[in-house]
Amino acid sequence: MIQIDGSHGEGGGQILRSSLALSLLTQQPFRLRNIRANREKPGLQPQHLMSVRAAATVGTATVRGDALKSRELVFEPGPVRGGEYRFDIGTAGATGLVLHTVYLPLALRTQSPAKIILTGGTHNHHSPCFHFLDTTWRGYLLRIGLSVELSLHRTGFYPRGGGEVHATVHPCRKIDGLQIQARPELTNVTGFSASVGLPEHIAQRQAKQASHRLRDAGLEVDLRQEQWGGGPGSVIALTFPQSPVPTMFVGLGARGKPAERVADEAADEALAYFDSGEPVDPHSADQVVLPLAFAEEASEFRVSAVTQHLLTNVAVIRNFVDRDIAIDGAIGQPGVVRIAAQSV
């Protein structure tokens, strides 16, 4: 049984989710201790518990320690089965992170499309929101041969939650390697600014602030202003359509947080990526490295900033997969990710 220390690296829920996915893919059991040890509320919170139960359901697994606030988990996988699934987090916990746990085992270890309904949060801080998943994450998956269809049926913002996302995961016979060493010139930004169950001026202020920041950097800007039902909440999404895939950066509102600060958070990330000159954004780098560990061909891509998330995910992968993965670059600086071809 593989032994994993959940306090390693960034010490968050990513260690859990990647371990669950890798266990189902390789059929190796694991014991995870010190779950989310570096977080303000350590142990399994609702979205992490749902990730465990979702993995156990699709992978007919035997589990010990699957309880709220549990800091230790034993997971023994069984055969991965496709079909139709519904996973309700019960809070505003991130639906996207539950999807991240199960999509790759369903794609690589089943023979027919799997349909998943997820309820909970769709636009969460510190996790990929629905529009990033649908735009950037799916874009990279398609480049390496994976197809996941997504549709948003209802938004879910913190703290109310209640959002609903439908996903269809198609079987994949072979993952392709990824080679990206450069990006086209970035000239314009598209996207939207939305207020959800809040006054229209919030979306207007977000759009105005972000547009001002981006135009000062010499970029053309075209942002839609929208009002959605549900909420309350607000979101701004800034996308570089010329990148290797459309690359999105998101800012999310919160109680007492000015609209201008929401816009600045998205603009800060977008401009850091723009200034780096590198093709792959830091969020996508740590998300794509796991499926690339199962590609036969070698991969090499440049990332705008190496993150602790990326380093931690690579460390987890090495527990399950004998693959040479190297990262050149310091945390917070541009770098290169190299994954050697599979040994015969």
Residues recognised as catalytic? 309
Structure tokens at 142: 């398609």
Helix boundaries (H) for 133-184: 138-143
Contact residues for 110 (Cβ-Cβ < 8 A; gap 6+) = 80, 81, 82, 171
The H-or-E segment that residue 137 falls in is: none
Q: CA of 136: how far to CAs of 89, 165, 239, 244, in Å?
A: 24, 16, 9, 9
Helix (H) or strand (E) holding 223: strand 220-228
Q: What angle do CA 117, 25, 52 make, to 5 degrees?
A: 50
d(CA 273, CA 238): 12
In single-letter form, the type of residue at position 267 comes to A
Residues 6 or more apart in contact with residue 45 via CB below 8 angstroms = 13, 36, 68, 69, 93
User: What does the chain come to in residues?
Assistant: 344
Give me the half-sphere count of Cα atoms (radius 13 Å) on the Cβ side of residue 317.
21
Smallest CA-to-CA distance from 302 within 182, 186, 185, 136 is with 182
Which residues make beta-bridge pairs with 64?
Answer: 74
Q: Which residue has the tokens 């401009």?
A: 271
Closest among 101, 133, 127, 131 to 114, alpha carbons compared:
101
Classify residue 299 as left (phi > 0), alpha (psi -120 to 50) or beta: beta
CB atoms within 10 A of CB 146: 21
Tell me the three state secondary structure of residue 79.
Answer: coil
Residue closest to 314 by CA, chosen among 2, 35, 9: 9
